[in-house]
Chains A and B, each alone.
Chain A
Amino acid sequence: MIDVKNISKTFKSHSTEVKALVNVTAKVDKGEVVVVLGPSGSGKSTFIRCLNYLNVADEGSIVIDGIDILDPKTDINKVRAEVGMVFQSFNLFPHKTVLENVILAPIVVRKKSKEEAKKKGMELLEKVGILDKADVYPDQLSGGQQQRVAIARALAMEPKVMLFDEPTSALDPEMVGEVLDVMKNLAREGMTMVVVSHEMGFAREVADRVIFMDDGAVVEVGTPEHFFTNPTHERTKLFLSQIL
């Protein structure tokens, strides 16, 4: 489903150069849940943002569902429509109601009729447990509710892959659970997911594979069992000792 080969990314400003990704190679199969772990600044957010072209990799290749997204001839909007993204800061559209947030892209991108989009939108809101808030504006919702709306908004495009960029990092602790529950349900239904997260419990319980990154490079890849109980690299051991 996702095939990343040797991508690198360097952020340049006037005086400094930051190597965010160095020769990263990774693979995500259909129906697989991959959790990307790593300390802050390890490049995991840059990695997931490269997957739908919000950051552009300098070199290497990224193939999603058979389409090379770094090829200049690729219509990136078509690829993005198939790849859902959930952000750390929700990024809901504040001038639209919850339901309008969910149905906007299906109507303007997929050209669905309003009735059809609404029907599907209501189903999704029910699925993430905020059907009763369909007609309120995002600023009246709690962080956890907003993030669940953001998930519903991404799902409304019926994506083949879902990318989660630290979906629970901006939430108050008591709201983390409700968002993770939605994500677990999604994983159970067989959605292909790439999740950048600090939630070790989620990684352990849901992930098929864990990718550990540090300093812009992939250090270790393995099943959660292997990763949490028997890591090979020193850097991984240090990381786990710091957070567990």
Chain B
Amino acid sequence: MGSSLTHKGLKHDNIYYFWVVVFFIIMTGIVLAIYFSALQIDYTWRWYRIPRYFAYQEQIETKSEIDGEVQSISKKGKDAVVLVKGLEGTESYAVRASALRVEEGDQIYYGDPLASYKKWRVGILLEGLWLTLKVSVIAIIFGIAIGLFAGLARISSNPALKWSAITYIEMIRGSPLLVQIFIWYFVLGTLFNNILANHGISQISALWFGVAALASFTGAYVAEMVRAGIQSIHRGQTEAARSLGMTYVKSMRHVILPQALRRILPPLAGQFISLIKDSSLLGIIAVRELTKATREVVTTSLQPFELWFVCALLYLVLTFSLSMLLQYLERRQLVV
């Protein structure tokens, strides 16, 4: 309704379509500007090199280890056994029947392929994307749990709980995430892993300290949202729930939190989108997520322009999907 009012008289006018065209001219202009600037420095665009970093085919070969003659090939379903008779004896090789490259009676020399086939492998960019997704999902889940607990502690009347929550929230919100990642990895990580080593327990990898940094960071912001959400629910709701004999926990669980979470869903969505983007910082503690993976590919392929655009696009796919998912949840609840 609002938009139809503001665009009144503009929507079906020629002027409206004029500005639509202007929009597309601006977009095309930006793309062309980048393209022609790249020409100025003799940059060669090689988009065809990009797909291999998502997935590539690896050649897998079975090679003969002796000189000789293929004596026999016995097939059994999908498998085959190749017998090679040489001067010093016979060697047998189990291969895939479909991958066979030789026939009975062929002369074979050392290193000749008896069978070869291609296998799809996951490329480094896709691995990085997967790791980013994994880190983000785990950090979001823990972030919600921490935020819920800290938010409830924040509004508790118990000073130990309340002051702990305030200290946690203020410390996290008052320092840069990058510094927090360094503290988690270089300070807490060193302490943890040394203690674990002293007890002969295996080490915790950088990935988990990265997840911990992101989860504790997100938790502080979620806590403030949870607090605001709960406080926005009318006091009468608690009174009604408690007057029915529900305990504090039951009234929170069944009456207050469901309503509060519904209200804070939009800001939560924004926070989780930030988390996905912030996970790009984990590259500095050697977690090979999407950004770090892209940096590695750039150094080997020397195609930085294409790769950084692809990297940004992949983040956009993640964040856009998440925002669609949360919008769907929000809409569904409005109908309910």
Contacts and interface: CB of A to CB of B under 8 A. Distances in A.
B164 to A, nearest CB: 26
A78 B240 contact: no
A108 B254 contact: yes
A91 interface: yes
Interface of A: 52, 54, 77-78, 80-85, 87, 89, 91-95, 104-105, 108-109, 137, 150, 153-154, 157
Given A91-B236, A93-B237, A80 B243 contact: yes
Interface in B244-262: 244-247, 250, 254-255, 258-259, 262
A78 to B, nearest CB: 7
Given A81-B244, A95-B258, A154-B244, A87 B250 contact: no
Interface size bucket, B side?
A: 10 to 19
B242 interface: yes
B255 A109 contact: no
Nearest to B235: A91
Contacts of B258: 95
B239 interface: yes
A80 B245 contact: yes
Contacts of B237: 91, 93
Chain B binding surface, main DSSP class: helix
B235 to A, nearest CB: 9
Contacts of A78: 245
B258 to A, nearest CB: 5
Contacts of B245: 77-78, 80-82, 105, 109, 157
A87 B243 CA distance: 10
Contact of A80 (B244, B254, B255, B262): B244
Contacts of A80: 242-245
Contact of A87 (B236, B254, B255, B259): B236
B244 A105 contact: yes
B246 A95 contact: no
Contacts of A91: 234, 236-237, 239-240
Contact of A105 (B246, B262, B336): B246
A70 to B, nearest CB: 16
Given A52-B243, A94-B259, A104-B244, 11 more contacts: A54-B242, A77-B242, A82-B245, A83-B243, A85-B240, A85-B243, A87-B236, A91-B236, A93-B259, A95-B336, A157-B244
